[in-house]
Structure 1
Amino acid sequence: MKQLFILLMLFVSVKGECLSEPNTQKPIVVAASSSLPPYVIQDTNSGIQLEILKAAFKSQGITNIDIHYMSNKRAEQQLMQGKVDIALNFPPVLTPHVYKSDELLRYQNVAVSLANKELKINSIYDLAGKSVLAFQNATNFIEAPFKSVTNILRSYEEVVNQEAQVDHLMKGWVDVIILERRVFLYYLEKYKQSAEVKPFIVHAIFKEAPRPAFFYSKTLKNTFNLGLGEIIESGEYQAIIRLDGTEYAQLSEPELRE
C-alpha cells in the first residue's frame, strides 16, 4: 500500500509540472517576410524583429521557433486560417482570431526620389502624376489618403523584392520609391558595392508606424508580451535595436552583458 501511495504521488507531481510549464516541444510557427533586412534576414534566420521575438520567448523558457518565409499577403491568409501561430506583418484591421501584441518597434516609411529630378514632395498628395514603386501590400499598411492617391499616379506598382526598388530608382526607371527607412539604407549600402549611388532626397511624408506581432492565440500573445517587457527592462531589447540583426545573433551572452 505504501509503494502504491508513493507511485501515485510521483504521478501527480510529474503531471503537475507538465501542466505548469509551457509546451516547448511543439514549435511556434512564425510567418515572416522573405525580403525585409535588417528586420528579417532569411539567410541567417535573424534580423531585428526576429531577434526581439526570439529573445522575448526565450525569457519565458520557449526556444522552439520555426520561421517560415512568405509574402505579406500569404502570411495574412495563413494566420487567419490558423496555419501559422504568428505573423510579423499584418494589415491594421480588426480580424477575428487575430490578437495584436505590444509594440516590437516602429517603422518609418519614406518616399525617396533622385535629387536631379527636383521633385517637391511635402505630402502624400504631392505624389500625384508621378511613377511610384512601393513595397508589397503598401496600400494596406500606409495610412490614408495613400490608397486613394495611387489612383492619380502616372504609374503604380508594388514589389516583394525591395532590393529592386533601389535599383529602379538609381537607374531613373521610376520617379519615387516607397519603403521603410532602415530597409532603404540597408539596400543602399548593398547597392554601393557594385554601382554608383546618385544623390537622392528622402521625403518623410508618412507617420511612424507601430509594429506589433500578430497572434492566432491570445494565450501565446500574452506570454510574448510578458517576455517583451522583461527584455526591455533588462536592456537586451536596446542591444537588439542598436545592432544589425545578424551581428546581434552572433553575440554570446557574456558579450551582451559587457
Structure 2
Amino acid sequence: MKVVFLLALVCLCGDSFAFVNDIKQQRVIIAANPTVAPYVISENDSGIQLEIVKAALNNQDINEVDVHYMSNQRADALLNQGHVDIALNYSGILIAGIYRSQSVVSYENVVVSLKKSNFTINSIYDLATKSVLAFQNAPAYLPKEFGHNLENLRGYEEVFNQQAQIHHLMAGWVDTIILDRRIFLHYLKEYQKTNATKDFVIHAIFPPAARPAYFNNDLLRQQFDKGLANIIQSGEYRTIMLNLDKQYTQRDFTRF
C-alpha cells in the first residue's frame, strides 16, 4: 500500500510540475477593463495594476502574456468559460473553479462633488436626495449599504467610460460622481489639457478595497501569488507603484 501511495504521489507531483512548465511555454491571456486608467492603460498595455500583474508572472518565468480589453462583466463571463486565464476585476459571485489571488493593489473609491455645492458628505446616507454618476456595476464593488440605498438618491446612473464622469461633474449635470481616487486624478489631469475645471471636494467615505486578480486554474494562481510575494519582498512592487503613481496621477507616495 505504501508503494502504491508513493507512486501516486510521484505521479501527482509530476503532473503539477508538467503543468507549471506548460504555463511557462504558453501565452497567458489577461482580461482587463480599458477605462480604469491609471491602473490599466490600453494604449501601451501598461498601467499600475497591469504592470504589477506582469511583473509577478515574469518573476515565475511566465513571459508570454496577451492583454484583451473588455468590460468587467464580459471578463467575468470569459473567465468562467475558460476563454481567458486571468481577469483583473471580477464583479460576479465567486463560483466553483474561480480562484482569487492575494491583493494586487487597493482601490480607494471616493465621492467627488463641486465645491460650490457645499455638500456635507460623511457617509453613504448623506448621498440621499443627490444625483450620482458611478462606474459600471458599482454596487458590486462598494459596501452593501450603498446598493441598499439607491432608491433614496435623486438620480442614479452608471457609465462604462469613466472619463465621462469628469465632464458630467464639471458641466454640472450631476451632483456627485463615484470613482477611485487615482482614476479621478488621472482623468482630471487629461481633462485639464483642453478644458477649464472648477474647484471640487473629495469625500473619502468608502474603505479601501483590495483588488486581487482572478484565475480559472488554481496552479496558475499559486504561481502568481508566489511571484507577487517575491516582487513585494524585493522592492520591485514599491518601485512600480511609486513611479507610475507619480507619472499618471502626479501623486508622490512615500509608502505602500
Cα pair distance change 1:73/1:90, threshold 3 Å: same
What is the correspondence of 1:1-258 to structure 2 with a 5 Å cutoff? 19=18, 21-91=21-91, 93-244=93-244
Rounded to whole Å, the distance in 2 between the matches of 1:98 and 1:197 is 43
- Residue 96 (structure 1) shift: 1.1
Structure 2 counterpart of 1:97, one-letter code: G
For structure 2, the residue ranges without an aligned partner over 5 or more in a row are 1-13, 249-256
C-alpha contact 1:39 1:245 (8 A) present in aligned 2: no
- Residue 149 (structure 1) shift: 1.3
- Residue 21 (structure 1) shift: 3.1
- Give a deviation string over 1:16-37, Cα, whole Å, max 9, x none: 9x93735333211111001111
Report the structure number with the largest CA radius of gyration.
1
Rounded to whole Å, the distance in 2 between the matches of 1:31 and 1:51 is 14
- Give a deviation string over 1:188-238, Cα, whole Å, max 9, x none: 111111111101010011111011001100000000000001111111100
- Residue 148 (structure 1) shift: 1.3
- Residue 69 (structure 1) shift: 0.3
TM-score w.r.t. structure 1 length? 0.86
C-alpha contact 2:113 2:201 (8 A) present in aligned 1: yes
Structure 2 counterpart of 1:115, one-letter code: K
C-alpha contact 1:98 1:217 (8 A) present in aligned 2: yes
Structure 2 counterpart of 1:159, one-letter code: V
Rounded to whole Å, the distance in 1 between the matches of 2:246 and 2:70 is 20
Rounded to whole Å, the distance in 1 between the matches of 2:122 and 2:247 is 36
C-alpha contact 1:101 1:224 (8 A) present in aligned 2: yes
Report % sequence identity: 48
Structure 2 counterpart of 1:136, one-letter code: Q
Rounded to whole Å, the distance in 1 between the matches of 2:91 and 2:36 is 16
Rounded to whole Å, the distance in 2 between the matches of 1:151 and 1:99 is 33
Structure 2 counterpart of 1:82, one-letter code: G
- Residue 91 (structure 1) shift: 2.5
- Give a deviation string over 1:166-189, Cα, whole Å, max 9, x none: 010001000000000000000111
TM-score w.r.t. structure 2 length? 0.87
Rounded to whole Å, the distance in 2 between the matches of 1:202 and 1:247 is 21
Rounded to whole Å, the distance in 1 between the matches of 2:72 and 2:183 is 16
Rounded to whole Å, the distance in 2 between the matches of 1:88 and 1:163 is 19
SS of match in other structure, 2:158: strand
- Residue 92 (structure 1) shift: 6.9
For structure 1, the residue ranges without an aligned partner over 5 or more in a row are 1-14, 249-258
Rounded to whole Å, the distance in 1 between the matches of 2:247 and 2:188 is 19
- Residue 115 (structure 1) shift: 0.5
Rounded to whole Å, the distance in 2 between the matches of 1:208 and 1:36 is 16
C-alpha RMSD of matched pairs (Å): 2.0
Rounded to whole Å, the distance in 1 between the matches of 2:106 and 2:38 is 13
C-alpha contact 2:73 2:91 (8 A) present in aligned 1: no
Deviates more, 1:92-101 or 1:214-223: 92-101
- Residue 154 (structure 1) shift: 1.1
Structure 2 counterpart of 1:83, one-letter code: H
Structure 2 counterpart of 1:143, one-letter code: P
